[in-house]
Amino acid sequence: MEQWHALWQGTGLVQFEWQQAVMLLICLGLLYLAIHRKFEPLLLLPIAFGGLLANIPGVEIATGDGILRQLYEIGLATSIFPLLIFMGVGALTDFGPLLANPRTMLLGAAAQVGIFATLLGALLLSDLGLFDFSLQQAAAIAIIGGADGPTSLYLASVLAPELLGAIAIAAYSYMALVPLIQPPVALALTTAKERRIRMSGQREVRRIEKILFPLLLLMLTALLVPAAAPLLGMFCFGNLMRESGVVKRLTDTAQNSLVNIVTILLGLAVGSRLAADQFLVPATLGILLLGLFAFAAGTAAGVLMAKLMNRLSRNPINPLIGAAGVSAVPMAARTVHRLGKQADPENFLLMHAMGPNVAGVIGSAIAAGILIRLAG
């Protein structure tokens, strides 16, 4: 009978607390979104499943010597996983559209207004006593506006690991929701006439330009914002492997098996931060609110910058592509393309939106470097 008692005491039935049950429901909801609605499933599915595991009472999975805890210590506490993912993203990124039209980088800069506006928003909420975010935490939350998963995870792992779970959920959920979040903002700030602006074809870009660009970007980063060099360095490394054309087997691995392996392990490690005692805190609500604001603000800033550029330049650009400056590659560019087609069925904005889209990746990595430098 003793065993029955010991096992009964060991069951989840006895040990479950309501917070864990709530977290299980939340994680099942995230799985529903990932599987049925295809919300960024590559990350959200592993994260949500990790969250399920992290909330099973009576066994060490996300704590002690449990596997999720070990994966967290190996890859997230060290920042290795986000940086390797960023290398893979670099190997998958084509800077061609950006090189064909460099001035669209300004849109990628403007959209980062969302980051810094959110920083102020978080600090304001703290000042109002609604939440209690430190400067480090506010910076880690603000980067959600960068709409770039690995950058968000990297910054959170450096500045505010205690918020990593909520920040990851917010970042990937809102990236998946870009087709819902961006249209109202972009439509409110543009006229139908502006949305019908057509953009001409892009010039072809030379191979040598594509090879030199990641080196140029790295050198400029080293000179001006070295704190962004780990992130942009790995990104540029992946991109140089890709564009050099001489290490195809490494590029293929960086784009496929390496990034996939790290994605699986990273997702589980992030999921370990969804344990009820860390996630079911008031801060999570604030993070979700601020994250939504960050996406909307970044979108608005990108669109407004595009309109400003049209005032100053003779060669007009469709202001919708400013919305792609938030990153969320390639979702934001696709959303822009769809809005453009709604205004004019023969308007093809996809390629033009890819420029600000990848510029947004650069912009938010730079912003992350600045935040590390000044808030870290």
Partner 1 sequence: MENLFSQGLPLALFGIGVVFIFLCLLILATRAMSALAARFAPAAGTAPAETSPSHLPPAQMAAIIAAITLHRARRGAAA
Query: Which listed range, 3-11, 96-104, 122-130, 293-301, lies at the site for its own copies (CB under 8 A)?
Result: 3-11
Q: How many CB atoms lie within 10 A of CB 255?
A: 19
**DSSP letter (8 states) at residue 29:** H
In sequence order, the 6+-apart residues with CB closer than 8 A to the CB of 115 are 142, 143, 145, 146, 294, 298, 364, 367, 371
Q: Which residue in the set 20, 55, 79, 112 belongs to the binding site for partner 1 (CB under 8 A)?
A: 112
Judged by CB, which is closer to its own copies: 37, or 203? Answer: 37
Q: Which two tokens stand for residue 152?
A: 């968000």
Residues 266-325 that bind its own copies (CB under 8 A): 268
Partner interacting with residue 357 (select from partner 1, its own copies, Na ion, none; CB below 5-8 Å by kind): none
291 binds Na ion (CB under 5 A): no
Residues 195-214 that bind partner 1 (CB under 8 A): 204-210, 212-213
Judged by CB, which is closer to its own copies: 186, or 370? Answer: 370
Cα distance between residue 294 and residue 272, in whole Å: 25
Partner interacting with residue 113 (select from its own copies, Na ion, partner 1, none; CB below 5-8 Å by kind): partner 1
SS3 310: helix
Q: Which two tokens stand for residue 285?
A: 């609500």
25 binds partner 1 (CB under 8 A): no
49 binds its own copies (CB under 8 A): yes
Judged by CB, which is closer to its own copies: 45, or 171? Answer: 45
Query: Which listed range, 58-66, 165-173, 273-281, 361-369, lies at the site for partner 1 (CB under 8 A)?
Result: 361-369
Q: Which two tokens stand for residue 143?
A: 């980067």
Judged by CB, which is closer to partner 1: 4, or 18? Answer: 4
CA distance between the termini of the chain = 56
Q: Which residue in the set 124, 180, 216, 219 belongs to the binding site for its own copies (CB under 8 A)?
A: 219
Q: Which residue bears the tokens 């002690």?
A: 64
Helices (H), 225-349: 229-244, 248-255, 257-271, 276-279, 282-312, 331-343
Q: Which residue in the set 1, 3, 188, 314 belongs to the binding site for its own copies (CB under 8 A)?
A: 3
Q: Which residue in the set 92, 250, 308, 351 belongs to the binding site for its own copies (CB under 8 A)?
A: 250
Give, to the nearest 10 degrees, the angle between helix 164-176 and helix 282-312.
Answer: 50
Q: Which residue in the set 171, 303, 359, 372 belongs to the binding site for partner 1 (CB under 8 A)?
A: 359
Cα distance between residue 143 and residue 150, in whole Å: 11
| CA torsion, ordered 54, 55, 59, 62, to nearest 10 deg | 20
Partner interacting with residue 124 (select from its own copies, partner 1, Na ion, none; CB below 5-8 Å by kind): partner 1
Residues 322-361 that bind Na ion (CB under 5 A): 327, 360
Partner interacting with residue 327 (select from its own copies, Na ion, partner 1, none; CB below 5-8 Å by kind): Na ion
Cα distance between residue 361 and residue 160, in whole Å: 21
Nearest to 110 by CA among 364, 374, 330: 364
Nearest to 158 by CA among 85, 90, 81: 81
- Rounded to a whole number of angstroms, the minimum distance from the CB of residue 367 to partner 1 is 6
Cα distance between residue 107 and residue 114, in whole Å: 12
Query: Which residues are at the interface with partner 1 (CB under 8 A)?
Result: 2-4, 7, 91-92, 96, 99, 102-103, 105-106, 108-110, 112-113, 115-117, 119-120, 123-124, 126-127, 135, 138, 204-210, 212-213, 216-217, 220-221, 224-225, 242-243, 245, 248, 251-252, 255-256, 359, 362-363, 366-367, 370-371, 374-375
